[in-house]
Structure 1
């Protein structure tokens, strides 16, 4: 098939032919992008409304959620987001989906993580890239659109309910020493509420971190409440990023 891109100049390398005697153009002519099953990609955006004087306790935070109008998780509340288009950068997808589903645009948006567990969507293998933005002060009016049944600002509370730490000890066998990487596990209760919509739900999110200089960090949902998929974990991760900067 013809190349996905019109401009091949950045991909010539040393302009040699490969082991089969093919130029880049010849290689691309018969390359099959469907040889391997590939996952779908989406973006999801955590949009916070924060008071003008935001403290480390994150009091008075609100989050923008949309109500799902279709399967999966129909009727549950989710972050604005959706599937990327083939000729669209991830940042542009995040902004487009936010605008289409809530009418909000013009925000500074930061990429904060990727969620790719194979069982996070029953339709197919879906990997999402998470974004975050913060509005401070006056509430921005929102309007549901596209496949969102509703779009609302929701009150938000985060409570740390348990902390476990371990590791960091040294085992010695003969002349060899093995240093265990320290590990911590924190559980959070995330409470989301909008009185007008009758929304009052809580989720349990677990944060795991292992390592020091190089860290393995995961946020996972243990109990979702009425928050779709793993979106409660994405919200908690975004709150953790904000808290670390205050």
Structure 2
């Protein structure tokens, strides 16, 4: 059986490849791509630790998350439920909590190389979008660090009525859902897409040029099949 290999770009090669495209539209996944770690599950656990959610809600999501890891709950279901977890709370409270969480747990994990790249692209007039299956409160907070406005963030979200969070899902962008979310805002063939997991593969596939960043094993395999070179920021580069 033939083993497929994948080409790994240096930082200089990565930047050159992106800038040589002269992209008009660039799309970025967030968790694992712009920063290391999973802010979605991290915020869920932090919410339980700090008592942001009730004990009943905490027990419910804990059971669902364990079932997810036993492959008994789908990716799209758990991503949606991790937003529905906050139903009944005030949205302004969630935004304050998301800001506190991001500063305490995620901000230090931002990849400097990706921050520099996004800043360079924005300075060149590139339209930047962030697409994530993590809740909109955390992703919008993180996107601010990259100068990405909330109106260009597509993330897991529920309806908010009179300032109160409901359990009515509006969007859960994961897998093919990321492509669907982009299509709804008129983006069907972005110039460059950046993602780190197999749940970004469908979105990477619609790009003129796909850039797997800090790829998971499943995405490395897909990248080898597709001939996509991969890139690792220095802090997560394999030795």
Where on the TM-score scale, by shorter chain, does this alignment land: which range? under 0.3
Structure with more of its chain in strand, by fraction:
1
TM-score normalised by structure 2 residue count: 0.21
Structure with more of its chain in helix, by fraction:
2
